[in-house]
Amino acid sequence: MSIEEDSINLTRVGPGTVMGEFMRQYWIPCAMSSELEVDGDPMRLPLMGEKLLAFRDSSGKVGIMDHRCPHRCASLFLGRNEEGGLRCVYHGWKFDAEGKCIDMPSVPDGENVRQKIHSKAYKVHERNGLIWVYMGKDQDNPPPLPDIEVTLLPEEELSIHFVYRDCNWLQALEGDIDTAHFGFLHAGTVNAEDLPEDHIYYPTVIDRAPKYEVNDTPWGTSYGAYRKLPNGEMYWRTANFMFPFWTQNPAGIFEKAVHARAWVPIDDERMMFINVYWKEALKREARPKKNGEFLDEGYRLTNNYVPNTTDWYGRWRLREVESNDWMIDRDAQRSGVNYTGMENIHLQDHAITESMGAITDHAFEHLTQADLMIARTRRRILRAALAYRDNGTPPPGTEDPEVFLQSRGGFFTADVEKSWQDAYDENMKTVLRPAAKALAD
């Protein structure tokens, strides 16, 4: 197949597309539980190229359905969230959270008709602060939810953030499995001499062209980037891609790096970044120091949100957008206060992937040895998606959700003689498993 064809198959997510159908076989996290109130306003929820609507009914149950009323397509966004369901304000038809029509007051003797009418609703599952939706064709037989460890933890132990991004899901995801960018985009002006040797930035800035190994894994793909430390040990940074759109980055201490990040398509040209961390894993100082002082400008981890609106694309947007040049500070960039002139690490990733255009033109790229993980991941996704389309091969992890439990991203040191795989397996035996109780249940 041509690059162009592969690229279309990888990036397009609407119904009937290769990736669209493949991703629809998985549960998709799409909103935070806190975004929907009992009997509150319905919320526009565009997802996978479909215009959906979410609401929480009087019993607390969440419904997610096509925003169009199945009568004559008026938007249920304008509807009334009444006792036990959402009522279309055009002719009064009312639907419960599962999409069943439970009242049809505008039709004389409408009982027979009513029983045959359903809104186009999808299966919903709520777990630990996240709302998940299953958009697969066989709505009666959804797969189990994935055992991604961090999503098994109780909500109060989690830090969950959503950020809207104006670009295709794949290029956004690829930014998270691209080890070579860290020493430039985030740390291009940090010097090794300014850092203590045990600082988390230190290994990155002593060698900005790390070598790395890449493996296919049961959950997707993994890389281990390695650098030899001055003390003779090997420093490994492991990151993962997990089907169909999750990543784990290498930026935390492996032992407690319980986190996962979803890059969920809104449509072909928009996506939602969902960052889920175990709070305990965040208890570390990420900012580098210079002359004993923390460097702040350019190294923060906070997002600058504008207030949410009810618009289709109004949730979790940043104030920095292409039309204001992502608020780049050219003086800071020129003087070396930081490398990009952008004030925080998330923004740097955010802006750089938006700057590539709505959908990266794969035929325009020149991938190198340093992009091995990206090439391998594209191939792994494409093969799995085509195997599903052509042979009905179950998408990885849909029948064996426990494969995700063995996936962890983070950094550790190991004896130079030890292979990455051995060191990884050894570390996995002793890592903290905060979800142990949920796993045992």
Select from 60, 72, 78, 367 the one that contacts ligand FES (CB under 6 A).
72
Is 55 a binder of ligand FES (CB under 6 A)? no
Question: Pick from Fe ion, ligand FES, none: which does 349 bind, CB < 5 to 8 A by kind?
Answer: Fe ion
| Minimum distance from residue 181 beta carbon to Fe ion (Å) | 6
| 359 and 269 Cβ atoms separated by less than 8 Å | yes
Taking CB under 6 A as the binding criterion, the range among 91-99, 198-206, 258-266, 301-309 that sits at the site for ligand FES is 91-99
Residue 61: count of CB within 10 angstroms of its CB: 16
Taking CB under 5 A as the binding criterion, the range among 274-282, 326-334, 342-350, 411-419 that sits at the site for Fe ion is 342-350
Q: Who's near 106: CB < 8 A, 6+ residues apart?
A: 91, 92, 93
Question: Pick from ligand FES, Fe ion, none: which does 71 bind, CB < 5 to 8 A by kind?
Answer: ligand FES
Q: Could you tell me where the beta strands, DSSP code E, fall in 141-258? A: 158-165, 211-217, 220-228, 234-242, 246-248
Select from 74, 229, 327, 356 the one that contacts ligand FES (CB under 6 A).
74
- Site size with ligand FES, rule: CB under 6 A: 9
Taking CB under 5 A as the binding criterion, the range among 97-105, 123-131, 230-238, 343-351 that sits at the site for Fe ion is 343-351
Peptide bond into 244 cis (omega under 30): yes
CA distances from 384 to 24, 135, 215, 376, 408 (A): 13, 18, 15, 12, 21
DSSP 3-state of 147:
coil
Helical residues (DSSP H) of 197-356, grouped into ranges: 202-206, 330-335, 345-354
If we measure between CA atoms, which residue out of 8, 275, 14 comes closest to residue 163?
Answer: 275
Taking CB under 5 A as the binding criterion, the range among 56-64, 89-97, 204-212, 349-357 that sits at the site for Fe ion is 349-357
Is 71 a binder of ligand FES (CB under 6 A)? yes
Is 349 a binder of Fe ion (CB under 5 A)? yes
If we measure between CA atoms, which residue out of 128, 132, 155, 154 comes closest to residue 143?
Answer: 132
Buried b / exposed e along 87-120 (16+ C-beta atoms within 10 A): bbebeebbbbbbbebebbeeeeeeeeebeebebe
Is 118 a binder of ligand FES (CB under 6 A)? no
| Minimum distance from residue 94 beta carbon to ligand FES (Å) | 9
| Minimum distance from residue 44 beta carbon to ligand FES (Å) | 17
Residue 233: count of CB within 10 angstroms of its CB: 15
> For residues 121 and 150, which CB has a smaller minimum distance to ligand FES in the complex?
121
The conformation of residue 15, written as its DSSP 8-state character, comes to T
> For residues 93 and 404, which CB has a smaller minimum distance to ligand FES in the complex?
93
| Minimum distance from residue 189 beta carbon to ligand FES (Å) | 58
Is 242 a binder of ligand FES (CB under 6 A)? no
| 312 and 51 Cβ atoms separated by less than 8 Å | yes
Q: Which residues bind ligand FES (CB under 6 A)?
A: 69, 71-72, 74, 88, 90-93
Q: Which residues bind Fe ion (CB under 5 A)?
A: 349
